[in-house]
Amino acid sequence: MSANIFGERFKLISFGESHGPAYGVVIEGMPSNIPIDEKLLIQNMQRRRPGQGDHTTGRQEHDLPEILSGVFEGKSLGTPITVIVRNSDQRSGDYDQIKLNPRIGHADDVWKNKFDHVDHRGGGRSSGRETLCRVIAGSFAQMIFKSALLKTEVTAFAEQIGPHKLTQATELPEDIKSFLSTAKLEGESYGGIVKCRIKNAPQNLGQPIFHKLKADLAAGMMGLGAVEGFEFGAGFASAGIKGSDFHSVSDSENYGGIRGGISTGGEITFRIAFKPTASITDVAKKGRHDPCIIPRALPVVEAMTWCILADHLLWIRTDK
């Protein structure tokens, strides 16, 4: 297997299993001399953390990151940055029955078929906890932008939770929280839609043929566990619009800030559809999973976005 590396210039190498000793990430391509903002790192990781309310999973993750390499006296060395997080709360007993009965909607059986050998405990490598690695990498990517004094902002919102539309919420309103608490009690689960806005992205990010910015964003988002759809700009709605209407409005609205695969400097917007989490019924309750992945997905979407932006920010240095 060789598919745990993401990116071309700014590369993240993700490793770890849910009930193994640790998760971690190696970042290859971090330029030297970037100030390391550990507060930002912790902050981003905490937003992804479960156990923040009874509408999310009960698993307690303390998630203390340890930087093993690449940083010295508060700045990056230009060498690989490695960060690990120990898996402390491993009640693997809860997962014993999974070995016998693969969970509906999970990938346990698929992995077993593919690799003939699988760590069944809590999804092993396929656990959502792997997204921790992406949040860590995204934080370092974000530091590159900060260091360059770019005013780029990346914000992911919940736009829909199950059947309920929201007004670009970075935090869930109370009625949605209690909707999810009920769902949790009932062993029910919901998907949703996340919208992400990138403000003040530099121009020229993206390559014209195969690493179009929209294609890399799509690959990054569709690489998240429960994601079933990706659209940017006018998205699926663009199919039904007349060309004379579509192309008459200002750049950013319909084009989503990307033209010819390349950022135009306008606001970049994209939307991502998540299916309902697979952990429902009795097993789910014991497995302490989320009734809806959206709240915890927001920082992960932002992190992958930062990684992709950083990749292309370094890439344009060799364009001309």
Task: Determine the distance from the C-alpha atom of residue 49 to the mean position of all C-alpha atoms in its chain, rounded to a whole number.
Answer: 13
| Contact status, residue 280 vs residue 189, Cβ threshold 8 Å | yes
- CB-wise, 39 or 320, nearer to a second copy? 320
Query: How far apart are CB 105 and a second copy at their closest, in Å?
Result: 4
* Sole window of 38-46, 51-59, 61-69, 167-175 interacting with a second copy (rule: CB under 8 A): 61-69
Question: Cα(18)–Cα(24) distance, rounded to whole angstroms?
Answer: 11
| Contact status, residue 306 vs residue 300, Cβ threshold 8 Å | no
Residue 93 touching a second copy (CB under 8 A)? no
CA Rg, the chain, in Å?
20
Residue 31 touching a second copy (CB under 8 A)? yes
- CB-wise, 12 or 154, nearer to a second copy? 12
Residue 277 touching a second copy (CB under 8 A)? yes
Residue 77 touching a second copy (CB under 8 A)? yes
CA triple 233-236-240, angle to 5 deg: 105
Question: Cα(116)–Cα(111) distance, rounded to whole angstroms?
Answer: 8
Residue 139 touching a second copy (CB under 8 A)? no
Taking CB under 8 A as the criterion, the residue among 274, 283, 305, 309 binding a second copy is: 274
Residue 176 touching a second copy (CB under 8 A)? no
Query: How far apart are CB 119 and a second copy at their closest, in Å?
Result: 4
DSSP string, 173-223: -HHHHHHHHHHHHHT--B-EEEEEEEESPPTT-S-SSSS-HHHHHHHHHHT
| Contact status, residue 63 vs residue 24, Cβ threshold 8 Å | no
Residue 160 touching a second copy (CB under 8 A)? yes
> In the window 300-319, what residues touch a second copy (CB under 8 A)?
314-319
Residue 47 touching a second copy (CB under 8 A)? no
- CB-wise, 107 or 198, nearer to a second copy? 107
Query: How far apart are CB 17 and a second copy at their closest, in Å?
Result: 6
Query: How far apart are CB 93 and a second copy at their closest, in Å?
Result: 16
